[in-house]
């Protein structure tokens, strides 16, 4: 499929590829083993390469592109702001920064009324944890094994998943626990209710054995993202809130992936009416058009810094271009009903269609999700739940998933795959027609996985 508004330019692709190979050091990759697709442009739920191949984006890039590429209101806001004031240091006040903070606070639950801006999700978690340690005077933070919180030193150690292994120094002050995952229960639970009760009991025991007065915060993804789109049983997050309250521990919810409409609510916690002490965000706040993240801070936590300085800052905190993009994004989300659309998609399109695929494909072990945030978990054997590729696979073990991803791409669908899962995470603005077209392609491509059953 060719993009309608850009002429193919294969010569440009070769030049981009050559310069990339010579000079760009890519994240998470063995440099000699990758061949990144040179991307020429994007619009809405599609992007295209220089050869004119067009892809329907079922990944939202890194699950950040909630409003799709080139939203005219956001592009115009960035252009307007660039002509007016490209940068201003964080100790000045700025209209775009204050309006972005006001809008974010307006959509945040409870008394979370103040925003500390960062450049992305990792920095947001670093600062939220620092705030919690300063406010409580306690050293430890609890995070889940099945979690990703970022890639700098502290954030990587707060991360539970194998991405931490190569640089793990066993950082003091981080203690991990198991969260709920009914399909692969760490607690031998047979129902979601049992899983919920046992996961809460386990968390409380970890706290008791670590020493409640040594724990500053529990840091938790409201719906675990890259580690499987694990929607918690209904009582879990309210239960975590209650445990934190019992021991004077702050609750930090990492909404970097789940925030700003992804789950069909403004924030993941809204699905369960939970009010944390701190929320970290990034990605969807401006769909990643300009890097932006932040910590939304409760009045109670903010008050702790009324008379003592917060020891932390960033040159680009509240960058006016990023904040202008956030203001335009949030207003577009409000005016166009994008959050409601994401909820509708989950309920009427993605959920029903994926459940149907689970019936017809023997490789599908489970589908789960909310809004525009779904996972298809693939197995070799439904009875034993043996994973299609193992946890933390070697490149050779990952082959079945790579074949499946390639089958999607050949048909014009850009998927998000991780370990033994396909994450179905299109932009929240995707139309029913485009969503169904992407699901048709996924349905066909899943035959690749069925061959391994």
Residues that bind ligand PLP (CB under 6 A): 62, 120-122, 125, 148-150, 221, 225-226, 254, 256-257, 282, 293
User: Least Å distance between CB 161 and ligand PLP?
Assistant: 11
User: Residue 29 or 208: which CB sits closer to ligand PLP?
Assistant: 29
User: Residue 221 or 277: which CB sits closer to ligand PLP?
Assistant: 221
Question: Nearest to ligand PLP by Cβ — which residue?
Answer: 121
Cβ-proximal residues to 63 (8 Å cutoff; 6+ apart), any chain: 225, 257, 262, 283, 373, 416, 423, 425
Cα first-last separation, the chain: 32
Contact 101/302 with Cβ under 8 angstroms?
no
Six token digits for residue 432: 């029913």
The number of C-alpha atoms within 13 Å of 250 and in the hemisphere containing its C-beta is 28
User: Residue 231 or 282: which CB sits closer to ligand PLP?
Assistant: 282
User: Residue 221 or 434: which CB sits closer to ligand PLP?
Assistant: 221
Please name every residue paired with 117 in a beta bridge, in sequence order, or none if there are none: 294
User: Residue 174 or 379: which CB sits closer to ligand PLP?
Assistant: 174
User: Residue 323 or 449: which CB sits closer to ligand PLP?
Assistant: 323
Cβ-proximal residues to 83 (8 Å cutoff; 6+ apart), any chain: none
User: Least Å distance between CB 386 and ligand PLP?
Assistant: 27
162 exposure class (CB count in 10 Å sphere: 0-12, 13-18, 19+): middle
Cβ-proximal residues to 443 (8 Å cutoff; 6+ apart), any chain: 357, 360, 361
User: Residue 262 or 361: which CB sits closer to ligand PLP?
Assistant: 262
User: Residue 116 or 148: which CB sits closer to ligand PLP?
Assistant: 148
Sign (positive or negative) of CA dihedral 37, 41, 43, 44: positive
Q: How far apart are CA 79 and CA 72, in angstroms?
A: 10
Question: Which of 280, 275, 265 has the alpha carbon at shortest distance from 242?
Answer: 275
- Residue 233, classed as helix, strand or coil, is coil
User: Least Å distance between CB 61 and ligand PLP?
Assistant: 10
185 exposure class (CB count in 10 Å sphere: 0-12, 13-18, 19+): middle
User: Least Å distance between CB 256 and ligand PLP?
Assistant: 4
User: Least Å distance between CB 289 and ligand PLP?
Assistant: 13
- Residue 418, classed as helix, strand or coil, is strand
């Amino acid at each position: 499929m060719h993009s309608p508004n850009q002429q193919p330019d294969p010569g440009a692709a070769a030049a981009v590829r050559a310069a990339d190979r010579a000079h760009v050091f890519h994240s998470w990759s063995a440099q000699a083993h990758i061949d990144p697709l040179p991307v020429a442009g994007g619009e809405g739920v599609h992007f295209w390469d220089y050869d004119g191949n067009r892809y329907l984006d079922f990944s939202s890039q890194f699950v950040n592109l909630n409003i799709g590429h080139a939203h005219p209101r956001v592009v115009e806001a960035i252009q307007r702001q660039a002509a007016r004031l490209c940068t201003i240091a964080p100790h000045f006040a700025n209209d775009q920064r204050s309006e972005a903070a006001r809008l974010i606070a307006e959509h945040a639950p409870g008394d979370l009324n103040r925003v500390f801006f960062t450049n992305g999700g990792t920095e947001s978690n670093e600062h939220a944890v620092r705030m919690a340690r300063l406010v409580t005077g306690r050293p430890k933070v609890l995070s889940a094994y099945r979690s990703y919180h970022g890639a700098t030193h502290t954030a990587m150690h707060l991360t539970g998943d194998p991405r931490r292994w190569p640089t793990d120094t066993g950082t003091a002050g981080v203690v991990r626990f198991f969260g709920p995952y009914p399909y692969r229960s760490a607690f031998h639970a047979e129902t979601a209710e049992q899983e919920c009760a046992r996961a809460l009991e386990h968390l409380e025991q970890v706290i008791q054995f670590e020493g409640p007065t040594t724990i500053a915060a529990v840091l938790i993804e409201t719906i675990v993202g890259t580690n499987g789109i694990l929607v918690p049983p209904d009582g879990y997050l309210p239960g975590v809130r209650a445990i934190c309250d019992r021991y004077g521990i702050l609750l930090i919810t990492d909404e970097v992936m789940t925030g700003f409409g992804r789950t069909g609510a403004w924030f993941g916690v809204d699905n369960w009416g939970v009010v944390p002490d701190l929320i970290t965000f990034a990605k969807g706040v401006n769909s990643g058009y300009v890097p932006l993240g932040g910590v939304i801070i409760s009045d109670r936590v903010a008050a702790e810094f009324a008379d003592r300085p917060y020891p932390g800052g960033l040159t680009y905190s509240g960058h006016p271009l990023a904040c202008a993009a956030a203001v335009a994004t949030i207003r577009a989300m409000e005016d166009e009903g994008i959050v409601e659309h994401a909820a509708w998609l989950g309920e009427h399109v993605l959920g029903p269609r994926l459940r149907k695929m689970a019936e017809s494909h023997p490789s599908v072990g489970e589908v789960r999700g909310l809004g525009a945030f779904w996972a298809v978990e693939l197995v070799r054997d439904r009875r034993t739940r043996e994973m299609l590729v193992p946890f933390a696979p070697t490149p050779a073990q990952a082959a079945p998933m790579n074949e499946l991803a390639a089958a999607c791409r050949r048909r014009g669908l850009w998927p998000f795959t991780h370990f033994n899962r396909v994450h179905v995470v299109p932009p929240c603005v995707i139309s029913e027609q485009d969503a169904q077209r992407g699901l048709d392609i996924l349905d066909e491509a899943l035959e690749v996985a069925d061959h391994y059953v």
